[in-house]
Chains A and B, each alone.
Chain A
């Protein structure tokens, strides 16, 4: 494990009287797959949204690749290699599956103030898009409208779109949620490959997936980080057991 790619210091987010994220500090090393677990309402998605720049923190700082990015808007963060996937899929329903990915490739390769050439004939976007679809197993669905994809396929597409922005770090918000058993296994296999290429912060409820994939795990409860460590550390941590693992879905 080398450099710290993402460094979060004392991040806080309040919604009125509710403290969703409370003085949260966290490091993710370059090349690491860091999993974030915690019970529902622990602030995991809020935290991801803050990292992605969709929500602004009330206090604290975010450093990415050595740069302070707290004030950056979402597009700037994505352009610098910090991409996210959504727990509730955010897709372009009127476009084909390939369009959804190719548009992300296009967004990553310079500005789009080109007004003349038919975008669907530009081979570099289409080919690169197909490559990402193949990776997540959607290669045969390229020309299907997103509306007619199954839920599992839409989750795969979410990941393909995030990959198409050529990220250095991926923020994955529950990529396994709502997937069938077979699809889950496939997703875990894919993430095993991806983690060798891209730094990943994974929010996930599926404990089998987390323990199979994560280099380190952080546990979030009520917006606070109560533990960080390897899978074994977390399994044997008394505080975590009480707060989370003992309470049901583990």
Chain B
């Protein structure tokens, strides 16, 4: 057993690590993103800029769900709860800022992006802590159902919350202020959203390759094994759940700013489903997959709705084809391009 087998040595020395492409890819992406608004205006379709900003925001939301779904193996069907909560933080804070009376009598409203974004992240994280602590007592199908149930409870809570618009939602008359930038301009907002997305994906990439990321992937593959090497899996899953909730809260806060409107629709289970579909299209457990999925889903929605309101009728077959013919989503087409599960 202790002898060396030459055949194995050859295998062990294979697998060189290619480390140039993430840097090159990121630089290329940033250059393309910077040039995009000029490109959109040049081809006479400036609405593409807003579309791209929405894609960047959904990419963050889908990636945050992918942390627990793809990397951690926790199939949460209630991720819209944190997305919507992030949006409502922006909406409610803006509302109190506009009216002047403080939230709950002591928290003053604000329209400062540098305050509303962290607030949305923290509130969504706390919500994820509470709901995750309860949901993670279960696993498998009960976990899917309980996360769905909690999200729907929150949906109906906001539907009945007449003080904040109830069914009709809440209008954010002006986008949050960031320094002296003209946030009302879609191009400026696009740069802000893409900038935040780039930072988010960079942090995400570091996280999934960290000690924590390795443990999280281990829990997905074999929870019993992880317990047997001394890992209290519940705590690690809960921390991942909270981090995912925070990411969704960030995306929700950006979305509220983009559309200048929040409504219970942001919390609806179909929104959770959309995020899942993005991940499945792009590739579960991959870094870039959710972003590709966001491009495809938001792009298809925009393209198909331009000639039929029954666009989901056509989305269905596309989704089925992707699931049937590429098990790893679109990322499996670029093997080696970060498409491998970590």
Contacts and interface: CB of A to CB of B under 8 A. Distances in A.
B12 A141 contact: yes
Q: Which of B9, B209, B214 has the most CB of A within 10 A?
A: B214
A114 B210 contact: yes
B230 A114 contact: no
A119 B211 contact: yes
Chain B residues touching A, majority SS: helix
A143 B210 contact: no
B27 interface: no
A217 interface: no
Contact of A119 (B9, B213, B228, B229): B213
B2 A115 contact: no
Nearest to A125: B211
Interface stretch (B98-106, B159-167, B216-224): B216-224
A75 interface: yes
Interface stretch (A33-41, A101-109, A220-228, A233-241): A101-109
B130 to A, nearest CB: 20
A95 B213 CA distance: 12
Tier of interface size on chain B: 35 or more
Given A92-B221, A103-B214, A73 B232 contact: yes
B13 to A, nearest CB: 8
Interface in B47-75: none
Contacts of B233: 75
Contacts of B239: 113
Given A90-B224, A143-B15, A78 B230 contact: yes
A106 B226 CA distance: 11
B230 A107 contact: yes
A78 B222 contact: no
Interface string B220-253: 0110111111111100100100000000000000
Given A91-B222, A92-B222, A189-B1, A107 B213 contact: no
B333 interface: no
A94 B215 contact: no
Given A92-B221, A117-B210, A187-B1, A108 B230 contact: yes
Contact of B210 (A52, A118, A189): A118
Contacts of A165: 229-230
B321 interface: no
A79 B222 contact: no
Contacts of A141: 8, 11-12
A94 B4 CA distance: 25
Nearest to A186: B1
Interface residues of A, number: 51
Nearest to A93: B221
Interface in B174-232: 206-207, 209-215, 217-218, 221-222, 224-232
Contacts of A93: 221-222
A112 B12 CA distance: 27
A143 B10 CA distance: 11
A179 B28 CA distance: 52
A137 interface: yes
A70 interface: no
B2 A144 contact: no
A84 B228 contact: yes
Contacts of A107: 215, 226, 229-231
B43 interface: no
B227 A74 contact: yes
Interface in B22-51: none
Contacts of B232: 73, 75
B227 A156 contact: no
Nearest to A82: B230
Contacts of A182: 1
Contact of B212 (A73, A113, A120): A113
A112 B209 CA distance: 12
Contacts of A244: none
A183 B3 CA distance: 11
Nearest to B11: A144
A2 interface: no
B14 interface: yes
Listed from nearest, the 3 A-B pairs whose CB atoms lie closest are: A186-B1, A78-B230, A137-B1
22 contacts: A52-B228, A75-B233, A78-B230, A92-B218, A92-B221, A103-B215, A104-B229, A107-B215, A107-B229, A107-B231, A112-B211, A114-B212, A115-B206, A117-B211, A120-B209, A137-B3, A141-B12, A143-B14, A161-B229, A165-B229, A182-B1, A186-B2
Given A75-B232, A94-B221, A143-B13, 16 more contacts: A75-B227, A84-B228, A86-B228, A92-B217, A92-B218, A103-B229, A107-B226, A112-B231, A115-B213, A119-B210, A120-B209, A140-B8, A141-B8, A141-B12, A144-B8, A186-B1
Interface of B: 1-5, 8-9, 11-15, 206-207, 209-215, 217-218, 221-222, 224-233, 236, 239, 341
Interface of A: 52, 54, 73-75, 78-79, 83-84, 86, 90-95, 99, 103-104, 106-108, 112-120, 122, 136-137, 139-144, 156, 161, 164-165, 182-183, 185-187, 189-190
